[in-house]
Structure 1
């Protein structure tokens, strides 16, 4: 079997790349070991973060570093055994998080972020997935006035620099917007230009279905069998193509290393659990308890509680201590009922030390392209990444300047 392009990876980024190419009359085979949307893209908070112009930085102040070093924080935990391997990556992450460097990164990152809502809405409409979309933003809530004021100051700056819409909510306005939230909260900030979805995995499936309706084909296969130039084994047999896009998320590093690219890609692990809502309780939009470090979101299955970051090896067994630590706080904020999942879900976010995704051609292999490393914003940036890759591959003017996202920045 022959196609124009192989896309390896069935998450939101890979499916978006495949769909955007297929819409441009490029014949595509999408290959993954599972059906689309069943890995990292399944378990996120469902946010399409138009406000996310500043990617998540590493803490720089001494008090925060001491706090996290104790490994008892609710928002970040680490596996001590993994630290020797991760320290070089974390140092580079810390280095790039200095405020002036972080601001320069934001100027580049924002060029992608500004298109995230419009690109998603276009694909959602084309895929007939409007029932999954929630417009009107999401809320970051606070327990102390100091933390609330800091976020208001940040939101004001983001608005001035990048036209990020927001509104401040005092206690009364917050509880008018979300009557079921607890009285421990004193206010919040709603990012009104962002969207969210009620089933991230379902959204990926909807995009994959549209891809197939346009003539694309989805295969179960092993990306590790990739051979230049370019051939991969699937359950339906070998597939050959003139080009290949690696969009394997946290597994991308393993594959590209076999072709001589040793990239600084590590993971932040995260967990979720679904809960029933107690009788009469209702959540209208995602809510981030910023000072504790968890998010609750209304999903098709129930109220999804997602954790912060766990630093460790990608394939280490589940250690959902963060979930257990934040659940009592979440129950104070919202009347959660019983757990609905047999066990916590674990996913891994692929991260680079400069907080920018890797998007563009492989410098030493003709026809190979990279699209991974989106960290916390994989769902947010999937469609615009797909559009950018498709435009670069088809020789049309790209929606943003792709140069800052190229793999060449790592030498």
Structure 2
């Protein structure tokens, strides 16, 4: 979203705070909660409203891991970094549970199932389970199951993360935002940052001038709009989803005991309530078209989602909703958490490659440590 000349004119309001958080998604709210826990004066702003980006447009998977699978991650990131990344996602869910999300009406302790439908992925998941057990992670490997996706003729085996969960992401964001002692300044678009001042950082917004000692930029897919130098490192990618009307009392209702990932995470589905199945993915077939911030669905990709669901669920259920959401990809799939070279008190925390729900609040704590104490993450985890 651009900011017009009229909204750039000097505003009478002048706000001062110790730390400003830009972006009120899962990561920005996580930063604000951590600042609050550490008794730091803060303000948090968002160009629209809490969770307006990917944080309320995802499938609601609270899943361990952040790559195609553990073996693939070990091959590409290294064993130590992969072990740290998977532990990071377990800590992320533990932090969320500290905020009593397990008491929310849409929270479900739902194991995730990485279902292989090719021999190559089956071999990777078999090796993943072995490596994960060696590294101390709880994991199961199934060769058969009664769930409907297992009737697919190419279903081989599945890796089960037994301690994962699912949730309505809108309810999660609203619950976390309600725990903040400072109100979120909504419809407040930051359009310029002055990092060169001697005693503070000056942030120009459509609502006020904000002077802060420290700055946390939790802008994910919109990072390059404020910091153009990040355009090649944090790349917007759109994810599309749909919801099927598939009531459990339907004669062809599919059985779904798990939250499913297929095709190395390229497609995914789960049942959030007795009447609905949500399906997402298929972007790998349209990578060029989906490298965008545009909030829109496209007929070709949506048709691919419908066909994928019909094949996997053995029935073509009617679609009740379609939507998209903006993700932010990095080259290696790891978030960027680093100070800006112009000012070490300004920290970027963005680029979650579709795993903000699994990494966001834990990574937010690392970003706050970096901004307040200049303490880097304890392991060579982050980008």
With structure 2 as the length reference, what TM-score do the two structures score? 0.79
Deviations along 1:283-324, one digit per CA (max 9) or x if unpaired, are: 343112337942111225831101143423323564352331
Q: Give the aligned partner of residue 327 of structure 1.
A: 306
Question: Bigger CA drift: 219-228 or 238-247?
Answer: 219-228
Q: Deviations over 1:243-265 (max 9, x none)?
A: 211111111122122xx666522
Check if 1:148 corresponds to 2:127: no
Contact 2:221 2:293 in 1 (8 A): no
Partner Cα distance (1:405, 1:288) in 2: 24
Cα pair 2:62 2:167 within 8 Å, conserved: no
Distance 1:218 1:160 in 2: 47
How well do the aligned residues superpose, as a CA RMSD in angstroms?
A: 3.1
Is 1:283 the counterpart of 2:256? The answer is yes
Q: How many residues align?
A: 350
Q: Return the offset for 1:146.
A: 6.0
Residue 39 of structure 2 is aligned to residue 25 of structure 1: yes
Distance 1:292 1:381 in 2: 16
Match of 1:298 in 2: 271
2:376 matched to 1:405? no
Closer/same/farther in 2, CA of residues 129 and 37 from structure 1, 3 Å limit: farther
Could you tell me which runs of 5 or more consecutive residues in structure 2 were left unpaired when the two chains were aligned. 1-14, 196-200
- The equivalences for 1:368-383 within 5 A come to 368-383=346-361
What residue number does 1:201 align with? 170
Q: Deviations over 1:350-402 (max 9, x none)?
A: 1221332111322221421110011121110111012112233343977x426
Superposition deviation, residue 132 in structure 1: 3.0
Separation in 2, partners of 1:34, 1:160: 45
Q: How does 1:357-376 map to 2 (within 5 A)?
A: 357-376=335-354
Contact 1:137-1:190 within 8 A present in 2 as well: no
In 2, the alpha carbon distance for the partners of 1:370 and 1:247 equals: 7
CA contact (8 A) 1:133 1:195 kept: no
Structure-2 separation of matches of 1:377 and 1:291: 14
| Stretch of structure 1 that moved more, 353-362 or 262-271 | 262-271
Q: Is the 8 A contact 1:56 1:355 kept in 2?
A: no
Q: Distance in 1 between matches of 2:266 and 2:257?
A: 20
Name the residue aligned to 1:340: 320
Whichever structure has more helix as a proportion of its residues is 1
Tell whether 2:151 aligns with 1:183.
yes
Indicate conservation of the 8 Å contact 1:359/1:372, yes or no: yes
Q: Distance in 2 between matches of 1:246 and 1:56?
A: 27
Paired with 2:76 and 2:264, the residues of 1 have a C-alpha distance of 24
| Contact 1:47 1:194 survives alignment (8 Å) | no
State the alpha-carbon separation in 2 of the partners of residues 404 and 363 from structure 1. 20
SS at match of 1:45: coil
Residues 1:145 and 1:51: Cα distance change in structure 2 (over 3 Å): same
Alpha-carbon offset, residue 345 of structure 1: 1.6
Q: How far, CA to CA, are the matches of 1:100 and 1:351 in structure 2?
A: 16
Structure-1 residue corresponding to 2:189: 222
Partner of 2:218: 247
Check if 1:388 corresponds to 2:366. yes
Q: Which residue of 1 aligns with 2:203?
A: 231
Alpha-carbon contact 1:132-1:199 (below 8 Å) kept: yes
Is 2:95 the partner of 1:122? no
8 A Cα contact 1:20 1:390, kept in partner: yes
2: CA distance, partners of 1:220 / 1:303: 32
Which residue of the partner structure matches residue 5 of structure 2? none
What are the residue-to-residue correspondences of 1:44-55 with 2, within 5 Å? Answer: 44-52=58-66, 55=67
SS at match of 2:48: coil
Are 2:291 and 1:311 aligned? no
Distance, in Å, in 2 between the alignment partners of 1:114 and 1:139 is: 16
Between the two structures, name the one with larger relative contact order (CA 8 Å, sep ≥ 6).
1
